[in-house]
Amino acid sequence: MFPTHRPRRLRSSETMRRMVRETILSPDDFILPIFVTFGKGVKKPIPSMPGCCQESVDEVVKTARETYSLGIPGIILFGIPEHKDETGSSAWDPGGVVQTAVRAVKDAVPELLVITDVCMCEYTSHGHCGVVEDGEVLNDPTLELLRKEALSHARAGADVVAPSDMMDGRVLAIREALDSEGFGNVPIMSYAAKYSSAFYGPFRDAAESEPRFGDRRSYQMDPANRREALKEVALDIEEGADIVMVKPALSYLDVISDVKENFDLPVAAYNVSGEYSLVKAAARLGWIDHDRVMMEVLTSIKRAGADIILTYFAPEAARLLNA
Ligand code: PBG
């Protein structure tokens, strides 16, 4: 009790604060999401995500080198294919954009971890994450497509596959497919608690994956639910997930914290496009200090319990941390 206890004593200088700091960010914490497109020499800025681009494979290789040299351990690839169709068939094309990028990056920067996002929405003409029949997204038929997609990524050399579709049973389906083809050592990072969020807005521009009709509420989680996240995570772990993800991050710090407390797997959190764009927009207007807000955001995600942070801020934050 005051005056015996004066917490300010431990805040008196930067050295003192460093000594008692509980959360320390490092470039090791980050994974950089990259949007891969077809063509050559393409680096097309994404207007709603300043600093992010759609990149052709040759450019992705350059970005991968730079990312690794900043001390960031990995990237996650999203594909923007040349052709979309009803079933999203280019998702498992061995010559598809993601598969080609995986091979090129593993060849150029073998130490960098290459994670692939496994989902149908970027490849289907209707923009939904699975097979659509009579306006409904069908669960079980989608699993077959996800198996094919994940396998094609593993064959290309992906270090980790990350299903983001939210179909029931997909982790087990993918695990079985990988194991049966000799990829028993490829881990699955599941988007276990993925919410149906308006914070994905800029990503859908970037990945050209906005659904043509309806929304994703019949498969992604209701933002109002907290306990349900524990159920989703438990199921994915039972099915064989190696890393579990909460997404988005900022409006779901309570969920990150719950997952960390209740399970012993590494926890990933996705600092999504809308969370990134809000900071960029406010900084452009001169309303906030960009770098300080960026670091505070990333620190809060780690403090909540994330072991891995997927973030478009990765290069900028790593540069600051390395300075
Ligand atoms: C899709 C996918 C989405 C994101 C990652 N994977 C979008 C969605 O579900 O609509 C969002 C990432 C972001 O907003 O940064 N499979």
- Which among 106, 247, 260, 302 is annotated as catalytic? 247
- pLDDT over 90, % of the chain: 98
Q: Is 247 a catalytic residue?
A: yes
Q: Yes or no: say if 302 and 25 are a contact pair by the CB < 8 Å rule.
A: yes
**31: pLDDT strictly greater than 90:** yes
Q: Tell me the three state secondary structure of residue 270.
A: strand
Task: Give whole-number Cα distances, 301 to 188, 260, 267, 271, 295, in Å.
Answer: 21, 12, 11, 8, 10
Across 9-19, average pLDDT: 98
Ligand 1 pocket (Cβ < 6 Å) reads 117, 119, 121, 129, 164, 200, 203-204, 209, 272-273
Q: Which atom of ligand 1 is nearest to the CA of 209?
A: 10
Q: What average pLDDT does the structure give for the chain?
A: 97
- Name all domains of the chain by residue range, CATH numbers in brackets: 23-322 (3.20.20.70)
Specify the pLDDT at position 145.
97
Separation of alpha carbons 99 and 104, rounded Å: 9
Atom 2 in ligand 1: which residue has the minimum CA distance? 164
Q: Largest alpha-carbon pair distance within the chain? A: 70
**241: pLDDT strictly greater than 90:** yes
Across 251-256, average pLDDT: 98
Indicate the pairing of strand 74-80 with strand 53-56: unpaired
Q: State the distance from the centre of ligand 1 to the C-alpha of 34, rounded, in angstroms.
A: 12
- Which among 194, 260, 280, 302 is annotated as catalytic? 194
Q: State the distance from the centre of ligand 1 to the C-alpha of 259, rounded, in angstroms.
A: 20
Q: State the distance from the centre of ligand 1 to the C-alpha of 301, rounded, in angstroms.
A: 18
Specify the pLDDT at position 208.
87
What's the pTM value of the predicted model, to 2 decimals? 0.97
Residue 314 in tokens: 């990765």
Q: Which atom of ligand 1 is nearest to the CA of 200?
A: 14
Q: Yes or no: say if 279 and 223 are a contact pair by the CB < 8 Å rule.
A: no
CA terminus-to-terminus distance, the chain = 40
**148: pLDDT strictly greater than 90:** yes
Task: Give whole-number Cα distances, 155 to 83, 111, 112, 151, 182, in Å.
Answer: 22, 17, 17, 6, 10
Specify the pLDDT at position 135.
92
Residue with tokens 């990072």: 189
Q: State the distance from the centre of ligand 1 to the C-alpha of 227, rounded, in angstroms.
A: 22
Q: Is 62 a catalytic residue?
A: no
Q: Which atom of ligand 1 is nearest to the CA of 312?
A: 15
Of the pLDDT bands very low, low, confident and very high (cuts 50, 70, 90), residue 97 is very high
Q: Yes or no: say if 301 and 250 are a contact pair by the CB < 8 Å rule.
A: yes
Task: Give the length of the chain.
Answer: 323
Q: What is the pLDDT of residues 186-233, one digit of tens each?
A: 999 999 999 999 999 999 988 888 999 999 999 999 999 999 999 999
Atom 6 in ligand 1: which residue has the minimum CA distance? 164
Q: State the distance from the centre of ligand 1 to the C-alpha of 119, rounded, in angstroms.
A: 9
Q: What is the pLDDT of residues 53-83, one digit of tens each?
A: 999 999 999 999 999 999 999 999 999 999 9
Q: Which atom of ligand 1 is nearest to the CA of 129?
A: 16
Give Cα 274 distance to the centre of its chain. 13
SS3 content of the chain, % helix, strand, coil (to 5): 45, 20, 35
Q: Yes or no: say if 267 and 308 are a contact pair by the CB < 8 Å rule.
A: yes
Q: What is the pLDDT of residues 274-294, one digit of tens each?
A: 999 999 999 999 999 999 999
Atom 12 in ligand 1: which residue has the minimum CA distance? 272
